[in-house]
Each structure stands twice: as structure tokens, then as C-alpha cells.
Chains A and B, each alone.
Chain A
Amino acid sequence: MSLLEVRDLNVWFDLQQGGELHAVQGVSFGLDAGERFGLVGESGCGKTTTILALMGLLPPIASVAGEVWLEGENILERGESTMSPHRWRDVAMVFQGAMNAFNPVKRVGEQIAEPMALHGVAEGAAAKRQVGELLELVGIPAARADRYPHEFSGGMRQRAAIAMALACKPKVLLADEPTTALDVMVQAQILELLVSLSNDFGLALVLVTHDLPVVAQVCERAAVMYAGELVESGPTEALFHTPRHPYTRLLFAATPDLYGEEEVASIPGTPPRLDRPLTGCPFRPRCDRAFGRCEKARPALKPVADRHAAACHLNDVPQQVPA
């Protein structure tokens, strides 16, 4: 069994005007220690909601169903009572924009020590020593613990945010767009740090981003999300070279590459609204290969190759050209 196993996760939000929005629709994936898994898709596809559900940090208007197995225990089983012992201690998260969320009037070191005290990991001198170690681990001199957030550059604040998430030595780190607001050189430094954390300490990493090249270079496996569901998952190499869902292919084609010669094309249309039931394939209106069946039946995520699954009817059609 994997370190983390998500099974058939569903999230609904109650809407003010009545009705519900089905933000996450039957998402399943697994993760081993030291593995780096990417979750990619456009804004609003449910990536962030998915990982917030794994942390039990969704607002009260959300209802969650499904199973989240952590080392053989379903931490979603009894809501907060089974979730809270693991939050930050086993599963931690770096929020989008975390580098800008430090309290400006408190020293960085004190803020990193807070979760340690809160979860009874360390206090006082021991906490101070561990804060120093954590800072060094993410590439910041330990002496900087006494500085204030404004004395840090953006890249250093992002490192500090990662250090804070690692305060209770979690096994799984969920990182939401950890490099989105950063320059390409600082992005490279942060990605290098995340890779070394997983390689050297066996940290399992879920990297949530809209940036396909980042996932291609950092993660061994990834899943593409669309309209709340996983439409394709597999090794990143397979997703790029032999995509089995048109959305995956079109997303890569919409991403300019430094050395790519082919036409960069946007994907026409917009994702469907999730506050009403979907019939047929959610991607059909934007798909360049849709056919009769796509309108009637919603395709399920099915294995198409070794560790590679896709939710597209084209994969059932014999002698088809790969999507």
C-alpha cells in the first residue's frame, strides 16, 4: 500500500443561491515515500480544492466524501477527529502565496516555531535549535531566524514558508503553485530544493501547478485535472509523448517551449460550470476529436497502458490514432 492513497474523493460546495457546486469529482491517486506527483490543470479545475480536502482545511460550506488513506489509516473517516492528529505532523502544505502570508511584525524564526509548539514537537531552546536546522535545510543561514519577513527577499520568504511547512517533519508535502510568482532563476532554486527534499529525506511531494514544464521537469508522475476530475494520469513522459486524452495533448500544445518549432495554439472555449449536472464528456465542447458517444456518455478513467490511465472514449475505439 502506498504512503498516501486517495480514493474516490468528492467535494461539493453549498451555494448561497441554493444548489451545489461539484468541485472535485471522484479523484483517486496514490503516492509513495520520496515520490513527486504533479497535479496540473487550468484555474478552477479543482486542484487546490483537492489538496485542501487532504488537509481537512475546506470551509464549512464544503461536504467531502471518499477515502484518504495515510499509512493504512483512513484519515477522512471521522472528519476532524481523525484528520487533526495528522495535519502538519504527517501531511503539510505550502499555500499559494505563502511567502506573502508571514506576519510582518514577528520574527521569521518565531513563526516557524509556532507549529512546533502547537503540535508538541518542540519548545524553547529545542525549538530554536530545530528552527535553525530547518532554515539551513532550505538554504537560509540559521542566524536569519531573528530577522523580520521584510528583510527577506521573495525567494527567501518562499524558502522560509517551506521550512515552516516542514516544522513537524511531515511525510507528505502538498505544494500549491510554489513557484508561480517567482523569477525563473529563483524558481529553479526552489524546485531544486523540493527535489532534494524528496530525494534525501523521502518526502512525498504533491506539486499543484498550471505550469506543465515545471511538472515535466520535477515529477515522475502526474495527473491532469479538468472540470473536477482526473482525465489522465501516468508517468510525465507518457503524458507528453503518448497522451491518451485530447486535453492533455492540447495543454502541451498551448505551452510554448524554448526550442519548440510547432504552432502554439490556445484551446477554444471555457471549462463547463460545475453547479449543474454534466452529461457526456465534460471536455467535449472544446475537444477537436469529439464524436457521437462523447455527447451521451461520460468516459471513466480507465487503464490504457502500464500505470497510465485516461478518461476518453477514443481509447475504446479500435485502430484509433492516439489522441
Chain B
Amino acid sequence: MSAAGSGNGDAPLLEVEGLVTRYPLPRGAIGVFARAPQRYVHAVEGVSFTVRRGEMLALVGESGCGKTTTAQSVLRLVRSDAGAIRFQGTDITTLPSKQLRSLRRRMQIIYQDPYESLDPRFRVRATVEEPLLVHGLGSKDDRRREVEEALRLTGLDPPELFLDRYPHELSGGQRQRVAIAASLVLHPELLVADEPVSMLDVSVRAGILGILDDLRRRGLGILMITHDLSTAARFADRIAVMYLGRIVEEGPAREVVDNPKHPYTKALLSVVPKRDPRQTTRPEILRGETPNPVDVPPGCRFHPRCPIAGEECKATDPELRVPAGAGPAHTVACIKA
């Protein structure tokens, strides 16, 4: 798989700057007549990050923090309201849909549930070949070679053993491998993996993550969406922690895990169960649940649940910056960090 992309050679593979994506809330008939103001779900509120070739960035956070909306915005599956998305230096934020088609070949997504993402009536061969047909690529022989190569890359080797099978004849892990193979036939440069292993058995998860790791080494940029910090710590190069539509901490994976600076990151890490029963940490359990992204708290959006919040936190909306005692390329959005 060729890593070298076209376009601007020096630019990062993916650059997201100040991304904002909101969903309008239905007002209902009464609301419309009463001219109630339109309200929004502030799913993503000013998110910036980059993904380089050969790098895996993990976007972690609890449900509703905006990580999936961020990924969907990047892929232009939902329309964002502000900010810029640059793919290899080209701004794709407002690219017309005609040009999106060729772009989508270069950025692919794998979904959480391989039981639902594969068409049960399609044999493996047809599922993996489909993207090539959609994009009208290659001769019949070319396509056959591409399909077999993609299956080999995902560990379904020898391909002949799997080509004629239906999804129901495959295990969960094998299905996810087929889904990855179907995204690889197009030779994408960016892969978005939305919770790629959370539906799979523990015994096969490492295999799927290993494939992603291997693809990363071959030069793909990978944006992994996950709620599992242990997986992010082990497999990602960088971690970005999201809370209520914002990135609150970002940095090299080990640095974020070993030297967290944001109180939310610290709390999240403290409640991840450890494998070793002797390693009992004192979990710092945050009370209540993430506030509703319709009514985002003023000031720092984390302050109502923050154990160290002060008066100033109610007024200041903190920006990402390098805090004291942090390693390079480690940023935190907290005025107390």
C-alpha cells in the first residue's frame, strides 16, 4: 500500500481547525408559532487536531462527548457549521458533492458492529469487491487481485478459504476483518475506526487492533474513536480526550496516560479497572452525568463536575495550552493545570 499521497507533500494528512457541528432541535408546532428561539445540540464546539501519515490518533471520551460527530464531520457525512477540515493541505470543508466522491476513496471508515455493517446476502468476495465497482475501478482481473490482497492484509489468508463465505459463516473477528478489507481495496490514506473492537470478544480484539497497527506502520493515518482508554494507551500514538464537544487534553499517548494534567482526564484514568487485582487505585468517581450538550455550562464546561474548580472557572472558557510540567506537544484546556 503506497503511503505517499498526492497533493501538498508537507502538509499533515488531516488537519482540523476550530470545527463546530451543531444539530438543530425540533421546535414542534407550538414552538414555531410562539416563535421560540431555535435551540441546538452543541455536538462539536471548536475542535482542532491533526493526523499525520503513519500516525494513530485516538479520540476518547464518554458517550455524547462529540467524538463520533467529529469523525462524521471529517468524512463530510454531516455538515459542519464552522471551522476548516484540510485533507493533504486541501480545504474540503465546503467541497461540492461531485468532488467528494473521489475524496471518499481516500478516506474510509470502519464501524463498530461487524454484525450489522456487512450485507448478509453478499459473499465475502462481493462485499470486498463492491467499493471497486462503485468507483468503477480496475478490470475484472485487477479487482480479483485487489480483493485477495486486501484479505491477506487483514489476515484472512489464504483468501480462497474465505472468498465464497457468507457473513453468517464467519466469526465476529473475521467479519470485522472483512469490513476492514472492504475499506482497504480503495487504498485509502486515512482510516476512521469507530469503536472497531468494542463488539468483539476479548480474545480476538488484539488481532484487529494489530491489523490497524500494521496499517499505520505502512503509512496510513488512523483516527480511532474509542471509549476504552486502555486500548488507546496501548495502540495509539496520540490521545485526544473529549468532553462535551471540546478536546480538553491532547498529547502523546503515554504522556497523557502517565502524566495527565486535566482533572477530567485524571478522573477518567482513575476509574479504568486494572487487570491486576493488587493494583487498587483510589477511583475518583465523578458524580452525576455529563451535562446535556444543549445547555452547555458557561465558563469551563467541566466546572460543575470538577473537583478543583474555583470561581474563575465559572467565568473563563479555557483554551488548549501547554501546561507547566508537561512534555512536548501536550496541551490542556484548564486554567488550573
Residues of A within 8 A of B (CB): 42-43, 153-155, 183-189, 191-192, 210-214, 216-218, 236-237, 240-241, 250-252, 254-260, 264-267, 270
Partner of B209, one of A212, A237, A264: A264
Question: Which residues of B from 184 to 240 have beta carbons under 8 Å from A?
Answer: 201-210, 227-231, 233-235
A255–B204 alpha-carbon span in the complex (Å): 10
> A213's contact among B62, B204, B209, B274, by CB below 8 Å, is which?
B274
B171 at the interface (CB under 8 A from A): yes
| Residue interface mask B36-62, A partner, CB < 8 A = 1 | 000000000000000000000000001
Number of A-B contacts (CB under 8 A): 119
- A42→B289 contact, CB < 8 A: no
Q: Which residues of A contact B171 (CB under 8 A)?
A: 270
> Do residues B271 and A255 form an inter-chain contact, with CB atoms below 8 A?
no
Decide if B206 touches A212 in the complex (CB within 8 Å): no
CA A8 to CA B280, docked complex, whole Å: 34
| B325 beta carbon closer than 8 Å to chain A | no
Interface contact B206-A256, CB-CB below 8 Å: yes
Q: Which residues of B contact A (CB under 8 A)?
A: 62-63, 171, 173, 201-210, 227-231, 233-235, 257-258, 267-269, 271-278, 280, 283, 285-286, 289
In the complex, chain B residues whose CB is within 8 Å of the CB of A257: 230, 234, 274-276
Instruction: List 16 contacting pairs A-B, 8 Å CB cutoff, sorted by A.
Output: A43-B201, A154-B63, A183-B62, A183-B63, A184-B271, A185-B268, A213-B274, A217-B277, A241-B276, A250-B203, A254-B202, A255-B275, A256-B228, A258-B269, A264-B209, A266-B208
Question: Lowest 8 A-B CB distances belong to which pairs?
Answer: A213-B273, A266-B207, A188-B271, A266-B206, A183-B62, A267-B203, A256-B234, A217-B273
**Measured CA separation A236–B268 after assembly (Å):** 24
Q: Which of A183, A240, A257, A266 has most B Cβ within 10 Å? A: A266
* A254-B227 contact given A188-B283, A237-B278, CB 8 Å threshold: no
What are the residues of chain B within 8 A of A258 when measuring CB–CB?
A: 229-230, 233, 257, 269, 272, 274
When C-beta atoms are compared, the residue in chain B nearest to A236 turns out to be: B277
